[in-house]
Chain A
Amino acid sequence: MPRYILSRLALAFVMALLATLVIFLLANTVPGDPVLAQLGDLAASNKEFVAEWRAKWGLDLPLWQRYVIFLQRLLHGDLGVSISSQRPVLQDIRDFAPATLELASIAFLLALIVGIPLGIMAAVRRDSWIDHLARLISLIGVSSPTFWLAFIMLALFYGGLQIAPGPGRIDAIALPPASVTGLYLVDSVLAGDWDTFRDALAHLVLPSIVLAAATLGLITRTTRASMLESMQQDYVRVARAKGIRESRIVIGHILPNALIPVVTLGGLAYANLLTGAVLTETVFSWPGLGRYTFRSAVSLDFPAIMGITLIVAVVYLIINLLIDISYALLDPRVVR
């Protein structure tokens, strides 16, 4: 098992580097000039200014040299300096990642807590009203455009019914808790600040529901389908014949087998959430990685783009590894 993990990690690292190379080459084929994205009109026409700027960001060096510099920096744990924020990319990512991590995790948890039981019940009571309800919810979740859903939720619960707080991670007047992890829920508990905890939690409700919507549909349908398939297996009939309680059969026998595809797809869905959701973050003014990625791409901020690519690749690869490990736990036959 440990060898398996180590070899997977090594592979993951190589894949991540390959990803950065591809993105680097792609980003450099775009005809736009990143200097012009950053400089005001007068400076952009001043040849000396532009030349200085270019030299400062290493943009005047040949392509291969720039990539080599990137790799060299990476060996020291340095992702370079973002051209648009003029701060180390690592610092930018450290700033924005916790917000996305918090939101993605809560959204995913929500999707799991609602989706898996719903999927189980839909399978166990096939074609009943709960099955139809589950399928309807899945359909709505998956087919609603995120931007539309985000705004509808905001307009309805914040603007109309006025039971939810507005955009942002906490109230405008509140001060964020002392930063330990960057996750407001965790930090406010660590500081014993229950007001801020409730405020942060309240602000998480709407955006998590929006993000959970699509994932929920996926998880419900997958759980349902997988459960239905597992329910047909012989061992279930044997267990029933032995007189085991129905609930024990469902939870102890069918569910672990049914969960494998759910874990696969769910894991990938989580990775997707972790890399940021631009539209949701825009509507809720959530200072996360999604918006950062978008802005970096649009302004051709090469260091930031490369940094994000690396992080995204690493996240996906780690999640994939965790999925593989979980197979071993769910199904002992895998490792042997």
Chain B
Amino acid sequence: MTDKLGWIDRRRLVQLLGAGGGAIAAGLPANVFAQARKNTLVLGIDISDTITLDPARLAQYTSPMTVSAAYDSLVTMKPGEYINVAPSLATKWARTPDGKGWRFTLRDGVKFSTGNAMTVEDVKWSFDRVINLGDQPSQYIAHVDRVEIVDKSTIDIILKLPAEPLLSIIAAPEFVVLERKVAEANGGTADKDAKTKDKLAAWINGNSCGTGAYRIAAWERNQQIQLVRNEHYWAGKPPFERIVIRHISDGAAQLLAVRRGDIDAAFNLIPEQIAALKTEPGVRLAPLASLDFVYMALTQEAEFNKALAVKEARQAIGYAIDYDGIVKSMLGGAALRPAHYLPIGVSGSTEEIARQIGFKQDLAKAKELLAKAGFPNGFEFEIIYGNAAVQGVTYQDLGLKIQSDVARVGIKANLRPVDQVNLRTEYTTGKAKGGVLTFWNPPAVENQLWAAAVVQRVAKRVHWDPPENIVKLVSQAATESDPKKQHDLWVEWQKLVVDQANHFVLFQPVYQIAVRNTIKEFPLTAAGWMLDLHGVMPAGG
């Protein structure tokens, strides 16, 4: 006796459901694309901050990786070596005979992805374009006066102030060489009116005209960037036919995908997810040392906070924070801590130096300084922070930690979460009334950029008028040509700004990237573009 449910009987219903489910299951492709998978490298990373793939307009965090795969600069930085540059499109460099600039000898036999040979005109055009476009990257070569062709394999970059650093700055992917013919055919221009006349954006945000190992084939916003092999690459045949930089916004989804082998590497995992991978066969964790850091800035404007205007009071905060606790417990040890704004790995900043001259937790000393400052019973101050996280640690957690640390010496920290955009507004306009928890990452690996920032715009934000000797020291160190002397000058500078106690660097992340063991070589770099895509090699030859 069939059980009738209105007009359909139960048996028929079950049959229908079963058939429907079967249809869905049968329809799911088992692995339609297995064949192509072997020759393709798939990276899982949140690339939602990508706005442009035009090197001359680059100013975001994740896009340098793609740009540096498709284009090359005159010089580059090898992973782990962040003081000296290495040859790339230039094989030799030296001062120009008159000492006013740098002379580069170009490499022979370099071809663009179109197959055309790279010429010295392409190099000059590319630099002229960056300068004349006047977009954000141009600020970092504001001290370049002009670029001059000497002969067909030699080019000069003449500086306005000859002693100012240049080499490490032009290693950044903003200063790469584009193929002039292709760029101009698609709306690009390097003329003086490039700011208004350049229309390369539409084309370059889905193509590339460089000398890099891979060329950009497509960019589907918030989905993926596709790169294909450059058959004319000057440094040998790149191992992969295709690279897909796949946008996966959620770290948890990246974890699942890297486990299943749908992606070869996952970039945005947080400590809990990383811990889950430690026992996973087939996946390893590769450290990505970075030159980013998280810090707290303290204002010294007396009108905002009488206590913070006193140097010893600020230093007391510096001695109260439990830095080791932050690095060990909150980050699982996956971080470094420099003494000040010079991240560990650059000239003058090593772990040993940071240990010697940087702040460390010393509650007794903190109390002593408080008394000296005239606040033996402590004082109150505000800390603002945004709704974000670095390496899985939220600014909120950091704020809470600092709050509890300084409370041990009698200082009361009031936490105020602020929207990210408002935070930047308050901080950069110098309206922050206490401490600000925020993040710094370098556009290029050059000490002068960090140090100049400290004594110029960042000083304004904390209402500090730096004394002349500290400001002079920055240009002295930046223009010193002897490496040993330069190193010592930077150490001296750091000692002075540490003493000033306007900034406490809390940690310098060592990101953990999950990489499948089907990839043998995965050269991560802290130089700003995260990964040398041309150096990624699959396992098994």
Q: Which positions in A face B, CB cutoff 8 Å?
A: 30-34, 36-37, 39-46, 49, 84-86, 92, 95-96, 120-121, 124-125, 130, 151, 154-155, 158-159, 162-169, 171-176, 195, 198-199, 201-202, 205, 245-247, 250-251, 282-285, 287, 291-292, 295, 298-300
**A287–B24 Cα gap in the complex (Å)?**
24
**A219–B32 Cα gap in the complex (Å)?**
36
- Contact of A42 with B244 in the complex, beta carbons under 8 Å: no
- Is B336 positioned at the interface, with any CB of A under 8 Å from its CB? no
- Is B453 positioned at the interface, with any CB of A under 8 Å from its CB? yes
Q: Which of B136, B244, B253 has the most CB of A within 10 A?
A: B253
Cβ contacts A to B, 30 pairs, < 8 Å: A33-B424, A33-B425, A39-B136, A41-B428, A43-B139, A46-B139, A86-B51, A151-B253, A154-B252, A154-B253, A159-B259, A164-B28, A166-B262, A167-B250, A168-B246, A172-B244, A172-B246, A175-B226, A195-B33, A202-B27, A202-B28, A202-B29, A205-B24, A245-B7, A247-B6, A283-B249, A285-B247, A287-B221, A287-B247, A295-B48
- Contact of B6 with A246 in the complex, beta carbons under 8 Å: yes
A250-B248 contact given A172-B224, A295-B48, CB 8 Å threshold:
no
Interface band, chain B: 35 or more
**Shortest beta-carbon distance from A171 to chain B in Å:** 5
4 closest Cβ pairs, A-B complex: A247-B7, A32-B421, A45-B457, A287-B222
Option from A42, A86, A300 in Cβ contact (under 8 Å) with B139: A42
- Is B419 positioned at the interface, with any CB of A under 8 Å from its CB? yes
- Contact of A298 with B33 in the complex, beta carbons under 8 Å: no
**A51–B77 Cα gap in the complex (Å)?**
34
- Contact of A158 with B250 in the complex, beta carbons under 8 Å: no
A201-B27 contact given A40-B136, A167-B248, CB 8 Å threshold:
yes
- Contact of B260 with A166 in the complex, beta carbons under 8 Å: yes
Q: Interface SS of chain B: helix, strand, loop or mixed?
A: mixed
- Contact of A32 with B425 in the complex, beta carbons under 8 Å: yes
Chain B residue at smallest Cβ distance from A125: B5
A195-B25 contact given A154-B253, A173-B42, CB 8 Å threshold:
no
**A58–B306 Cα gap in the complex (Å)?**
40
Contacts of A292 in B (CB 8 A): 222
List 6 extra interface pairs beyond A121-B5, A172-B246, A173-B36, CB under 8 A.
A31-B425, A36-B425, A44-B428, A120-B6, A247-B6, A287-B222
Contacts of A299 in B (CB 8 A): 421
- Contact of B223 with A168 in the complex, beta carbons under 8 Å: yes
- Contact of A298 with B420 in the complex, beta carbons under 8 Å: yes
Contacts of B244 in A (CB 8 A): 172-173
Contacts of A172 in B (CB 8 A): 40, 42, 224, 244, 246, 262-263
**Shortest beta-carbon distance from B444 to chain A in Å:** 11
Give a binary string over B324-361; 1 marks a CB under 8 Å from any A CB, 0 the rest: 00000000000000000000000000000000000000
**A201–B28 Cα gap in the complex (Å)?**
8
**Shortest beta-carbon distance from A112 to chain B in Å:** 15
**Shortest beta-carbon distance from A94 to chain B in Å:** 11
Give a binary string over B417-457; 1 marks a CB under 8 Å from any A CB, 0 the rest: 00111101100100000000000100100000100010011
Give a binary string over B1-27; 1 marks a CB under 8 Å from any A CB, 0 the rest: 000011100000000000000001101
**Shortest beta-carbon distance from A234 to chain B in Å:** 20
- Contact of B246 with A251 in the complex, beta carbons under 8 Å: no
Q: Which positions in B face A, CB cutoff 8 Å?
A: 5-7, 24-25, 27-29, 32-33, 36-37, 40, 42, 48, 51-52, 59, 136, 139-140, 201, 218, 220-224, 226, 242, 244, 246-250, 252-253, 256-257, 259-260, 262-263, 419-422, 424-425, 428, 440, 443, 449, 453, 456-457, 460
**Shortest beta-carbon distance from A90 to chain B in Å:** 14
Contacts of B36 in A (CB 8 A): 173
- Contact of A251 with B7 in the complex, beta carbons under 8 Å: yes
Option from B29, B223, B252, B422 in Cβ contact (under 8 Å) with A199: B29
Contacts of A125 in B (CB 8 A): 5-6
Q: Which of B6, B52, B259, B262 has the most CB of A within 10 A?
A: B6
Contacts of B6 in A (CB 8 A): 120-121, 124-125, 246-247, 250
**A284–B248 Cα gap in the complex (Å)?**
8
**A176–B224 Cα gap in the complex (Å)?**
11
Chain B residue at smallest Cβ distance from A84: B51
- Contact of B421 with A37 in the complex, beta carbons under 8 Å: yes
**Shortest beta-carbon distance from A42 to chain B in Å:** 5
Chain A residue at smallest Cβ distance from B262: A166
A287-B257 contact given A33-B425, A36-B421, A168-B246, CB 8 Å threshold:
no
Option from B40, B201, B222, B424 in Cβ contact (under 8 Å) with A291: B222
Contacts of A163 in B (CB 8 A): 25, 28
Chain A residue at smallest Cβ distance from B31: A171
- Contact of A43 with B59 in the complex, beta carbons under 8 Å: yes
**Shortest beta-carbon distance from A184 to chain B in Å:** 11
Chain B residue at smallest Cβ distance from A40: B59
- Contact of A298 with B32 in the complex, beta carbons under 8 Å: no
- Contact of A166 with B32 in the complex, beta carbons under 8 Å: no
